[in-house]
Structure 1
């Protein structure tokens, strides 16, 4: 829906922009900072913050504003609405305990993945990543799997309009090469990425499908780069990953 559509409620958009601004580090901001981050005038930002305070999503401490615990419910509402999220927590815990490596579940949000679950192993990898963290989809195995599952027209639009930046020397940034890689992922049924986001991390991922076969998420296993190659990861982790993905699908989606 376009912002100039009759159905677009500008006040709601501004309110969410203020909430997102307050969620930026360091977690407390002045009125001027909220206005600048959210792209609002000071007067509009003041009204939005006043409303959020009344609704108990925000509090003021002198010049500074910060979110209250009630705001956490906004994110949890999304997670709780995912039909597979509750069972996926148990399934990924079992997988992590079985293989001894970090396991994650993510969803695709346009050009980025968003972590919905992340269970680190004892050898913690990227400890700064948590539920809600975002990463460019093209540089991680989770993203490759979900991008490969896009309808052809959506995949073509993504490749034509996304700016791919080098993060490490291994990062694929050429749209033609990335398209070939996504075709390979689609054909193989899994994604493998080594050192494209972090030189120290590799990962293998498979899709999670609903009862109709549509890819709704992806799960992955991550390990320390250099400890294994794609063939080894496939041999060790692909069967447990696919079993877990199938268990999530079976337990979470009704065929009725």
Structure 2
């Protein structure tokens, strides 16, 4: 049996320590309590702050457990940074596929389009920069919901309003769809946001592997999907390649 990973053990020990303290704990006290070098402790705590599990006081004198240390990290990334790093890839994706392309982030129970590139025939598309749409009613949203199970459960419990006659409004059906998204690594929506438009999306991941955004494309249903309803392979391949490239630019998969 492989041995335990020491850095994970140490990070967990930091979390347990902070969870027992009512006040912020100085770095030196954390190091002393765990019997670790201060430099090692600083690296552990800095990483835990970066992933949202630990927070630092305004005067930087101490650390404390975040209110929701294992909750979604959707508000921890700079939207401008996401957009600037993704723009070249979305522009290229639009040029290769002839489809309108978008970058989205999760905001509350909706997804917000933070960048879009329109195809020549895409002037009427809803997915434009600055637009927010229901998370359950587009491929972009289902990418985000698939990796934010807590939010998905909240949405299902509160009801899923119809946007078109093809919108998924049944909670069990949406849950199955999200499980399929987690397995495949992509999502496809057919007429669920706009009756004659299909959307296709894939996740953008940060350095730690969390889904921070989604990249997608959209067009008329018969342009995006085959007669069977499956995404056209060339479009899907180009989309996944773009998602992986953008993720790499955000540090995903890079050795430390």
- Within 5 Å, give how 1:35-54 maps onto structure 2: none
Cα deviation for residue 114 of structure 1 reads: 0.1
Confirm whether residue 239 of structure 1 aligns to residue 237 of structure 2: yes
Deviations 1:74-93 (A, max 9, x none): xxx9532x3x3212111100
User: What is the TM-score when the length of structure 2 is the normalising length?
Assistant: 0.63
Mark the runs of 5 or more structure 1 residues left unpaired by the alignment: 1-76
User: How many matched pairs?
Assistant: 176
- Within 5 Å, give how 1:71-86 maps onto structure 2: 79-80=79-80, 82=81, 84-86=82-84
Contact 1:105 1:117 (C-alpha < 8 Å) held by counterparts: yes
2:246 to 224, 244, 248: 248
Confirm whether residue 199 of structure 1 aligns to residue 183 of structure 2: no
**Per the alignment, in what secondary structure is the counterpart of residue 195 of structure 2?**
coil
CA distance in 2, matches of 1:129, 1:178: 21
1:226 to 222, 226, 230: 222
CA distance in 2, matches of 1:222, 1:130: 11
Mark the runs of 5 or more structure 2 residues left unpaired by the alignment: 1-76
Q: CA RMSD in A?
A: 2.1
Confirm whether residue 164 of structure 1 aligns to residue 160 of structure 2: yes
Contact 1:125 1:201 (C-alpha < 8 Å) held by counterparts: no
Contact 2:102 2:127 (C-alpha < 8 Å) held by counterparts: no
- The residue aligned with 1:112 is 110
Is the alpha carbon distance of 1:124 and 1:206 closer, same or farther for their aligned partners in structure 2, counting shifts above 3 Å?
A: same
CA distance in 1, matches of 2:113, 2:246: 16
**Per the alignment, in what secondary structure is the counterpart of residue 233 of structure 1?**
coil
Stretches of 4+ moved more than 6 A in 1? Answer: none
CA distance in 1, matches of 2:123, 2:199: 11
User: What is the TM-score when the length of structure 1 is the normalising length?
Assistant: 0.63
